Amino acid sequence: MADYFSLSPDDKREAFGVASTQSGRPIHLLEKDVWVVWALKQLYQSPFAEHLTFKGGTSLSKAYNAIQRFSEDIDVTYDIRVIASDLVAQTSDGLPATRSQQKKWTDDIHERLRQWVATEMLPLIQHKLAETDKTVSARAENETILIEYPPVAEGTGYVGPRIKIEFGARSTGEPYEILPIKADAAPYLADVEFPECLARVMRAERTFWEKATAIHVFCLQSKLNGERYARHWYDVAQLDKVGIVAKALAERDLAKAVASHKSVFFREKDMQGMEIDYAAAVDGKLQLVPDGEAREILAADYKKMLDDGLLPPGAESFEDIMERCRDIQERANAGPAR
């Protein structure tokens, strides 16, 4: 069996061509996925592994196989009880009690996390890259590590040849479970050894509530925070198809915990300048379907995802996604008896 990283660019391209034909996924995305798994392997073989929780859409595809879209960014929580144990010890519930305290916590945690990324995690990643592939580089931007590699194939440009590891540290990352992570190309290339690992992964039910409340904010603001934001709606729809939404809707305490956390650390205002009420959102007022221009912006973003192969062949239309999200919204707002 040949180690993937020992292959020449031509051999990699040929191997990915085989996997692409069988999987339907473009070569440039299969290649990028290998680097996603490689990066996760470094995190979970590091001294910090037990304090890091893999979350977000990429965890839904890589750990749970709950969504079939390509997910490129790695979203990781560094346990707040570790990086800010002195702050957490001051409260009974692990959350700042006042707005001024919240600002102090946020500022302190951002600075501690930036220092940790720059002095601990980045050097670790760079050292491992030097052992693996000297043509690949890594650099830090505040709380994010960017890994850039020379690709063996190009896409439309919507997805670039870089991996983004985004660290946060304002929660515990719980609830979580330990799950295996493997490269998407691996099942189609038995003679090639790809990176793999076991990762501490946020439970999908919490990820649903994280995404649902993020969607709720967009619907009240009519503003996209960056490209590929349509992924949240796609993810929520897929979570419903595999039964995770039904489980999440039954976990009202989990929903309330997410709302409490966001009310403290992720305060947002709607178009009228009123503070968004997360508690109300998870208790009968959730909005998952935007209207007017916001819907058009979202539809355009969804089309870009389709055009670059981020979604699988035969993926649902934008309107089908909106219809399913409306159904989820109605069930969520109906209360416990769904």
Quick: pLDDT tens for 71-129.
778 999 999 999 999 988 887 777 888 888 888 999 999 999 999 999 999 999 999 99
Coil vs helix vs strand at 148: strand
Question: How confident is residue 310, by pLDDT bands cut at 50, 70 and 90?
Answer: confident
Question: How confident is residue 155, by pLDDT bands cut at 50, 70 and 90?
Answer: confident
Question: How confident is residue 337, by pLDDT bands cut at 50, 70 and 90?
Answer: very low
- Contact 58/71 with Cβ under 8 angstroms? yes
Strands 144-148 and 74-78: unpaired
Count other C-beta atoms under 10 Å from residue 31's C-beta: 24
CA 198, CA 179: separation in Å to the nearest integer?
A: 5
Question: How confident is residue 223, by pLDDT bands cut at 50, 70 and 90?
Answer: confident
- Contact 77/55 with Cβ under 8 angstroms? yes
Strands 192-193 and 2-3: parallel
CA 185, CA 18: separation in Å to the nearest integer?
A: 9
- The pair of three-digit structure tokens given for residue 24, joined into one six-digit string: 């339907």
CA 197, CA 132: separation in Å to the nearest integer?
A: 16
pLDDT number for residue 226: 58
CA 274, CA 270: separation in Å to the nearest integer?
A: 5
Location of structure tokens 């302190």:
108
**Dihedral sign computed on CA atoms, order 286, 292, 294, 295:** positive
Instruction: Write down the mean pLDDT value for the chain.
Output: 93
Q: Determine whether 317 is exposed, middle or buried from the number of CB atoms within 10 Å of its CB (0-12, 13-18, 19+).
A: exposed
Strands 52-55 and 74-78: antiparallel
Residues 237-280 pLDDT 10s: 999 999 999 999 999 999 999 999 999 999 999 989 999 999 99
Residue % of the chain over a pLDDT of 90 = 79
Residues 8-26 pLDDT 10s: 999 999 999 999 999 988 9
What's the whole-model pTM score?
0.91
Beta bridge partners of 140: 145
Q: Which helix (H) or strand (E) holds 128?
A: helix 122-132
Question: For residues 309, 312, 315 and 318, what is the CA-based torsion angle, rounded to 10 degrees?
Answer: -40
Residue 258 C-alpha from the chain's centroid: 16
Question: How confident is residue 194, by pLDDT bands cut at 50, 70 and 90?
Answer: very high
- Contact 244/66 with Cβ under 8 angstroms? yes
- Contact 249/184 with Cβ under 8 angstroms? no
- Contact 5/132 with Cβ under 8 angstroms? yes
Give the residue-averaged pLDDT of 38-42. 98
